[in-house]
């Protein structure tokens, strides 16, 4: 009889060891140090030479001719040499420097204006036959009188007599000379426009020449009247309250 024995299997694990990879700085000797300093000196020399060349190049001046300038700059000497004095410029001044101030002179100018428009035989009450005649008439009228007529009046006025009325009411009356742009729409208020006793107009056309002292005096008078009325009203209320209190007792 044969006896067979099993030999136990032995498992052996194999472990591999890997060495770590590392680096170190290269070892420099004295010669390497001299070489590195030499490279730095060469770099500094290159920078210095480039800077010197730039400075030398910047010293080269351009010729002062128009082609070497970019854009336009005011040349005072040239402008002074070519400038024309303002009083020597030939302006076409078509308005007369002598302003019309009397109605007799206005009548003569109206007659001349009618003749310039080819309407010498017509009266002032006839309307203009066309716009050309009206333009010729109004141009001569403005040139001779020395006053410009607003576009609105040039449009709405249809007869020479209308222009005469306009000049009498707006110019010869002195209204145009009193025109003040600070007033809204150049509205001229008058006392006759307001009949209510609690409305008072200050600094109207009739009072435009009043001094500031007189205006302040008038204003103080109005304030005093207001205070007096308030005192009378207050005393009346107090007296009525006393009477009502006495009647209740």
| pLDDT band, very low/low/confident/very high, at 10 (cuts 50, 70, 90) | very low
The answer to pTM > 0.85 is: no
Question: Between 84 and 119, where is the model more confident?
Answer: 119
* pLDDT value at residue 123: 82
Q: Judge whether residue 20 has pLDDT over 60.
A: no
Report the pLDDT averaged over residues 27-53: 69
Residues of the chain with pLDDT > 70: what percent?
A: 63
Structural domains of the chain in order of their starting residue, each with its CATH number = 64-177 (1.10.1200.10), 188-234 (no CATH)
Q: Over the chain, what is the mean pLDDT?
A: 75
* pLDDT value at residue 64: 75
Q: Judge whether residue 1 has pLDDT over 50.
A: no
* pLDDT value at residue 55: 55
* pLDDT value at residue 210: 58
Distance CA 217, CA 209 (A): 15
Q: Which of 31-45, 149-163, 197-211 has the lowest mean pLDDT?
A: 197-211
* pLDDT value at residue 4: 46
Q: Where are the beta strands (DSSP E) in the chain?
A: none
* pLDDT value at residue 29: 65
Q: Judge whether residue 63 has pLDDT over 90.
A: no
| pLDDT band, very low/low/confident/very high, at 232 (cuts 50, 70, 90) | confident
Question: Between 124 and 23, where is the model more confident?
Answer: 124
* pLDDT value at residue 92: 77
Report the pLDDT averaged over residues 37-50: 71
Distance CA 70, CA 78 (A): 17
* pLDDT value at residue 137: 94
């Amino acid at each position: 009889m044969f006896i067979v024995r099993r030999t136990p299997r032995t498992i052996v694990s194999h472990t591999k060891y890997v060495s770590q990879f590392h680096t170190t700085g290269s070892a420099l000797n004295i010669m390497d140090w001299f070489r590195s300093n030499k490279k730095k000196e060469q770099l500094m020399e290159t920078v210095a030479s480039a800077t010197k060349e730039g400075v030398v190049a910047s010293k080269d001046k351009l010729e002062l001719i128009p082609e070497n300038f970019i854009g336009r700059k005011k040349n005072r000497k040239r402008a002074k040499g070519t400038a024309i004095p303002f009083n020597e410029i030939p302006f076409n001044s078509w308005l007369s420097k002598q302003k019309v101030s009397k109605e007799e002179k206005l009548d003569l100018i109206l007659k001349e204006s009618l003749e310039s428009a080819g309407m010498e035989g017509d009266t002032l009450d006839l309307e203009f036959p066309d716009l050309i005649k009206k333009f010729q008439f109004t141009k001569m009228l403005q040139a001779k009188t020395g006053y410009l007529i607003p576009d609105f009046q040039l449009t709405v006025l249809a007869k020479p007599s209308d222009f005469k009325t306009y000049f009498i009411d707006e110019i010869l009356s002195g209204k145009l000379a009193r025109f003040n742009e600070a007033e809204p729409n150049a509205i001229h208020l008058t006392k006759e426009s307001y009949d209510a006793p609690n409305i008072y107009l200050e600094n109207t056309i009739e009072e435009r020449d009043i001094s500031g002292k007189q205006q302040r005096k008038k204003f103080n008078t109005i304030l005093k009247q207001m205070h007096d009325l308030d005192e009378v009203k207050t005393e009346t209320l107090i007296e009525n309250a006393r009477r009502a209190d006495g009647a209740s007792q």
